[in-house]
Amino acid sequence: MTTLNEKDLYKARRNEVEIVEVPSINFLMADGQGDPNTSSAYKEAVETLYALSYALKFALKKAQGLEYKVGPLEGLWWAEDMTKFSTERKGDWKWTMMIAQPEAITPEWLEKVREEVRRKKNLPALDRVRLEVYAEGPSAQILHLGPYAAEGPTIQKLHAFIRKQGGRLDEKHHEIYLSDPRRTTPEKLKTILRQPYR
């Protein structure tokens, strides 16, 4: 068992579940429901998160000289009835897609940049994106290599580890997408699977 520190939040090992204490992190977030493969709301949310994240990055660089890398896309996944949360019922899935932001990003910065983006692009999800501080606390995580549809055994390993430690699953299933599915073959997709526990 390995306990990680904050700098390791976006690193994980493929065959080893690790424990990480996730602090409060600033995120741009957008909520929705439905199959991510077919939902237009999902596609719109992701497109808008990236548009705002890059616009904020360039605005802060210009105004404050702050340079940083835009983080990976992340997703929280759940269902009203978690016993029915399965790949066969993706239409019932609820999700929050999100991208971490530096602490320098404030609600005022978001509103300023939102209006700049609105003038340049027609993004239906623009008003659905919010800035929120999210804290998961103690979590276990592991790297999944391969298609999203094949995550099941890796998730089972993660959950079994938590139960073996005497913990219980808490909150929502969290995924961090380290690969761009538009440019990476399904077999090479890297996804950190994270599960908060108590």
Which structural domain range is residue 192 located in?
Answer: 3-196
* Residue range 79-99, pLDDT digits in tens: 877 666 666 677 788 999 999
Q: How far is CA 81 from the centre of its chain?
A: 21
- pLDDT for 30 equals 99
Residue 133, pLDDT score: 97
Banded model confidence at residue 1, pLDDT cuts 50, 70, 90: very low
Total domains present in the chain: 1
CATH of the domain at 10: 3.20.80.10
The span from the CA of 30 to the CA of 85, in Å, is: 20
pLDDT(167) > 60: yes
pLDDT tens string 109-157? 999 999 999 999 999 999 999 999 999 999 999 999 999 999 999 999 9
